[in-house]
Amino acid sequence: MVIWLVGMSGAGKSTIGRCLYSNLKKDKPGTVFVDGDEIRSLFNHDKVDGAYTLAGRKINAKRIQSICRWLDAQGLNVVCCILSIFQDISDENRNIFSEYREIFIDVPLSVLMERDNKGIYQAALSGLQCNVVGVDIEYFPPEYPDLVILNSFEEVLLPEYVNSIINLCERGIK
């Protein structure tokens, strides 16, 4: 099974995903964590020209999809955190993975810009950075998420978010 956590930069995908992974790993040792930023860094795709253009983002998204497919084919459960701006990839995921659950971590852009934990929104608004999703690349939420989490960033709600994902996936987790 692949659990695909999607949302804009700073929405809390990795935080929720890591907590989900830790919870699943206790009882399901065949669970792995895949983070889009880490994969980008692993392949040095964050350092090449055009890495954050639409074309560069598509390369990274396809690469992550391939890694998840490879892990899924080995019978592993995958918790994947990815910005995921390509609906065609999300649609394809439903057909290529043994089981697939898409979780949309929804946070208004205004909140993300106010929090700006990575500094990318301010850099984009100041003209210091380009190809930022939500600023100069339009973000379209996923069309058919299996679950939407309205992340309020209240740490006390993290277990609730994780439990809602586990409940959604319960039948498919090995």
- Active site amino acids: 84
DSSP state of 156: G
If one counts every other C-beta atom within 10 angstroms of the C-beta of residue 63, the result is 16
Contact criterion met (CB below 8 Å) for 68 and 2: yes
Region of 80 (left: φ > 0; alpha: ψ -120 to 50; beta: rest) is beta
Distance in angstroms (rounded) separating the CA atoms of residues 79 and 14: 10
